[in-house]
Amino acid sequence: MTPLRYARAVDAQDAVLQATTGATYLGGGTNLVDLMRETIERPEKLVDVSGLAVGVEETENGGLMIGAGTRNTAIAAHPLVRQRYPVLARAILAGASAQIRNMATAGGNLLQRTRCAYFYDESGSRCNKRQPGQGCDALGGFNRNHAILGASDACVAVHPSDMAVALASLDAVVHTRTSKGERQIALTELHRLPGDHPDIETVLEPGELVTGISLPPALPRSTYRKVRDRSSYAFALVSVAGAIDLADGHIRDVRLALGGVAPRPWRAYRAEDVLRGGPIGKVAFAAAADAELSHAQALRDNGFKIELARRTIVAVLDELTGDPA
């Protein structure tokens, strides 16, 4: 770890002022500090924002506002989240471990970085994300966990968050602040696809602070399903967040997002388009999954993810349209 300075921000404005060149915001530190130990991140200064914007509140339109500093555990345990947004509670609880969730903040979770082994191997592997133009060792190496959607020749890494996948399915909006003012970004627009510049991972400007995440009112039913290599404490191979509104035996509205398959939380618009207004049933669900995955591309080790994603999408839709448990 490179020596650095540490400062705790007293409020959002202070945080933005302190975030000068070379500074990085610190949430719970569960990802950032690991990356600093590996010398992948070398901030000169940490601005601790974990104490800012803590809490979950109901908004006027019947949605929720989640402060960026709210711990993952607190979000998952919040009664309104559990009642109205089970997809979010389940996604959070499916991630990491209890100890990590107790530390991790909402903002940090969104902005956590990929777990690609070659990205992590600072001294021994090439990575375009870490060092632009260096090359990508994951392409011809271990890529069982890597992307089947949205990747590029420069980078095939996936975004590892579970929570962000649920948020993508909920039409969440990210609230940010810079010294120039505040803005709102659709969560699905927050992360960039890698293209030629996998090192630029989000649309955030340097020093832009995430202050909160707002959710519109929920669809009546939602859930999250995560498929992984062990029962707990493993990143998703494939995950599916789904929310649905049924009327008279057809699908009035639906939102689907996929995790573990793409460089960002992957909103499955193609599948939604097939489903919206259409009938309930395995045939329609499979057609929707196929529509979404028709552009999927397999690497050396991850071809199984295409079939796995297809099956998991269908299973989640089955669950959401079946008898409520």
Ligand X SMILES: Cc1cc2nc3c(=O)[nH]c(=O)nc-3n(C[C@H](O)[C@H](O)[C@H](O)COP(=O)(O)OP(=O)(O)OC[C@H]3O[C@@H](n4cnc5c(N)ncnc54)[C@H](O)[C@@H]3O)c2cc1C
Choose between 166 and 251: whose C-beta lies nearer to ligand X: 166
d(Cα 314, Cα 317) in Å, to the nearest integer? 5
In one letter, which amino acid is 166? A
Q: What's the gap between Cα 311 and its chain centre?
A: 21
Crossing angle for the helix pair 282-293 and 304-321, nearest 10 degrees? 140
Q: Cβ of residue 181: shortest distance to another protein, in angstroms?
A: 38
**19-26 contact pairs (CB < 8 A, 24+):** 19/47, 19/206, 19/207, 19/209, 20/45, 20/207, 21/206, 23/47, 23/207, 25/49, 25/107, 25/209, 26/50
Q: Cβ of residue 225: shortest distance to another protein, in angstroms?
A: 8
- Please tell me whether residue 253 binds another protein under the rule CB under 8 A: no
Pick from 61, 79, 181, 231 the residue near another protein by CB under 8 A.
Answer: 231
Pick from 121, 253, 273, 290 the residue near another protein by CB under 8 A.
Answer: 121
Choose between 142 and 269: whose C-beta lies nearer to another protein: 142
Choose between 221 and 225: whose C-beta lies nearer to another protein: 225
d(Cα 67, Cα 81) in Å, to the nearest integer? 13
Q: In the β-sheet with 221-227, what is the strand arrangement from edge to edge? A: 221-227, 238-247, 250-259, 266-267
d(Cα 38, Cα 26) in Å, to the nearest integer? 16
Q: Cβ of residue 144: shortest distance to another protein, in angstroms?
A: 8
Measured on CA atoms in the order 93, 94, 98, 101, is the torsion positive or negative? negative
Residues that bind ligand X (CB under 6 A): 24-32, 34, 49, 68, 95-96, 100, 103-105, 107-109, 111-112, 160-163, 209-210, 235
DSSP string, 150-178: S--SS-------SHHHHHHHTT-EEEEEE
DSSP β-ladder status, 45-48 and 5-8? parallel
# chain residues binding another protein, by CB under 8 A = 35
- Please tell me whether residue 256 binds another protein under the rule CB under 8 A: no
* Residues in 29-48 that interact with another protein by CB under 8 A: 37, 39
Tell the residue number behind the tokens 């992957």, with chain if given. Answer: 266
Q: Cβ of residue 169: shortest distance to ligand X, in angstroms?
A: 14
Using the contact rule CB under 8 A, the part of the chain among 77-85, 214-222, 234-242, 251-259 near another protein is: 234-242
Q: Which does 32 bind (CB under 5 to 8 A by kind): another protein, ligand X, none?
A: ligand X
Using the contact rule CB under 8 A, the part of the chain among 71-79, 148-156, 215-223, 231-239 near another protein is: 231-239
d(Cα 13, Cα 147) in Å, to the nearest integer? 37
Choose between 121 and 273: whose C-beta lies nearer to another protein: 121
d(Cα 284, Cα 289) in Å, to the nearest integer? 9
Q: Cβ of residue 58: shortest distance to ligand X, in angstroms?
A: 21
Choose between 19 and 254: whose C-beta lies nearer to ligand X: 19
d(Cα 196, Cα 182) in Å, to the nearest integer? 29
Q: Which does 232 bind (CB under 5 to 8 A by kind): ligand X, another protein, none?
A: another protein
Binding site residues, another protein, CB under 8 A: 1-3, 37, 39, 115, 117-118, 120-121, 123-125, 137, 140-142, 144, 227-234, 237-238, 304, 307-308, 311-312, 314-315
